[in-house]
Structure 1
Amino acid sequence: MPVELHYREAGAPVLPTLILLHGLFGSSANWMGIVKRLEKQFHLIVPDSRNHGRSPHTTEMDYPLMAGDLLALMDRLHLDTAHLLGHSMGGKVAMWLALNMSDRVEKLVVADIAPVTYPDHFQPILQVMSGLDLEGLAGRRAADALLSGSVPSLEVRQYLLQNLVKIGNHWQWRLNLSGLQDAMPELLGFPDVTAAQFPGAALFIHGGSSDYVSSDSRAVIKTLFPYARMRQLAGAGHWLYAEQPDAFSRQVTLFLSNR
């Protein structure tokens, strides 16, 4: 059963529609720097995935379900087709939809992810977040200090702490932590789509300093997306759109605008 996704919107509706899909532990807010760079060229729809941001929490979560949520949003907005741009988990949602309902996808852009299974580095992070005592928490700085022992990367902690919000006098996570823990095997993997191919144009952008797209996974990409172009942003890591927003936006605009 699809959930009704919360979304942001920018750009004139007469422009080509581009849907931006965030990664695990993210939200539509992550894309705001890219939105500012693309809103004059595209009609932008930027949803929060289920169990993230302001979208509903559910006990079930996998890529077919998330693609169903996206299709329901497109139907609600009367969008027969759209360009898709997904980062990490959002890239897997976009790939699944392109492979299974290619008639709804014009062009596909996937940022620093491949349709393969990844090792689980996230359960320890989820356990630390779930175990954080939010009662009497002074604020994000205090939460950052509590997380720092288990999550040494300041960049990762800042990314996670975007999800910590104050409602009234109490702090809470916008993420559905228990739902994400239960769904992690599905999110780390990718459904079996060996019989499918996306016949359209696709762009796969990966960070030169990221290890998310290996040579083996590039071969899988080319099998499922035979018309895929591969681009690397030198010096960029996994959050390439945030680290190099101008270069990232140029790649996206050139690809989507090229007829």
Structure 2
Amino acid sequence: MLRDRDQSNRWSGPAEGPPLPLSCRVTGEPDGKPVVLLHALGNTGRDWAPLITALAPLGRRLYVPDLRGHGASPRSERYTFELMYRDVVALLDRYRLDTVDLVGHSMGGHIGWLIAQRQPARVRRLVIEDTPPPPRDAAAEEEMRLRSAREDDRAPVISLYQEFRDLRRSGGLDSAAVRPIIDELRRADPGWWRRLAEVTAETLVISGGLSSPVPRSLLAEVAGRVPHGRLLAIDAGHYVHRTEPERFCAEVVRFLS
């Protein structure tokens, strides 16, 4: 049931201003342990509908925001992971959520990593769905740039852009958000890799397997650097929760139980 939704869709404040007030659906048992679901670039909180249904028997309290520039949340002059991180932390503060379980897909997974790295005591369990890590160094960044220029590696990206176009036409996506987020994920960030060791949450990293543009071997390395991390591969492509919803939901429900 819809409990809370901020209908504002425009933000007139400065680019470096305060966190944006995200539109957020809140559902489930009022006294249940909180779970926060963070969607991917070009999606909205509605994408989590099957998982919300699957989690209902656990008696959890679910918080499902539309992230900055998506759905009913405000648009902005700038889109960075730092700003999105601040938006979500402000959301946790707004609902007085001291400790949560986090589920994030792709862009939402990266935000989940930042929260678990910077505020480890705030995350009990973490589920990361097919989230590409940033390159470790300049050499890895250059390798990614060359690989993305090859035609055979561009097909999954072209498919994603088609989905972004459809959401943009419906008014659910600020097109200015797409390129900055993709570019930021392609920039080297050795500090991000070092901070994986600081994550204290029980962590499940879900790979989309050979059908995903995110290499399974890379996600295995990410999971291996987290003290309580493990990898689960489901050969379903980048959108595991859509392609294999029953398997995905069953694994997440089992992990969060």
**Which TM-score tier does this pair reach, normalised by the shorter chain?**
0.7 to 0.9
2:57 to 40, 44, 47: 40
**Alpha-carbon distance in 1 for matches of 2:128, 2:46:** 18
Structure 1 length-normalised TM: 0.76
Q: CA deviation at 1:58?
A: 1.1
Structure 2 length-normalised TM: 0.76
Once the two structures are superposed, what CA deviation does each residue of 1:105-151 show, in whole Å capped at 9, x if it has no partner? 111000011422485799xxxxxxxxxxxxxxxxxxxxxxxxxxx95
1:2 to 19, 32, 42: 19
Which stretches of structure 1, 4 residues or more, deviate above 3 A after TM superposition? 117-122, 155-160, 187-191
Is this contact kept in 2: 1:116–1:217, CA < 8 A?
no
Closer, same or farther in 2 for the Cα pair 1:189/1:248, shift >3 Å? farther
1:218 to 193, 215, 220: 220
Once the two structures are superposed, what CA deviation does each residue of 1:148-169 show, in whole Å capped at 9, x if it has no partner? xx95x5x86456424433xxxx
User: Could you tell me which residue of structure 1 aligns to residue 138 of structure 2?
Assistant: none
Say whether 1:84 aligns with 2:84.
no
Q: CA deviation at 1:24?
A: 0.8
Aligned residues: 220
Q: How much identity, in percent, do the aligned residues show?
A: 31
User: Could you tell me which residue of structure 2 aligns to residue 106 of structure 1?
Assistant: 124
Closer, same or farther in 2 for the Cα pair 1:230/1:195, shift >3 Å? closer
Once the two structures are superposed, what CA deviation does each residue of 1:211-234 show, in whole Å capped at 9, x if it has no partner? 3133144224422x121011111x
More helix by share: 2
Letter in 1 for 2:66: D
**Alpha-carbon distance in 1 for matches of 2:99, 2:69:** 25
Say whether 1:178 aligns with 2:176.
yes
Is this contact kept in 2: 1:52–1:175, CA < 8 A?
yes
Closer, same or farther in 2 for the Cα pair 1:176/1:8, shift >3 Å? same
SS in 2 for 1:49: coil
Structure 1: gaps spanning 5 or more residues: 123-149, 166-172
Once the two structures are superposed, what CA deviation does each residue of 1:65-100 show, in whole Å capped at 9, x if it has no partner? 211111111111111111000000100000011011
Is this contact kept in 2: 1:51–1:180, CA < 8 A?
no
Letter in 2 for 1:30: D
Q: CA deviation at 1:183?
A: 4.4
Structure 2: gaps spanning 5 or more residues: 1-17, 136-140, 149-156
Is this contact kept in 2: 1:114–1:218, CA < 8 A?
no
Is this contact kept in 2: 1:51–1:58, CA < 8 A?
yes
User: Could you tell me which residue of structure 1 aligns to residue 238 of structure 2?
Assistant: 238
**Alpha-carbon distance in 1 for matches of 2:200, 2:84:** 22
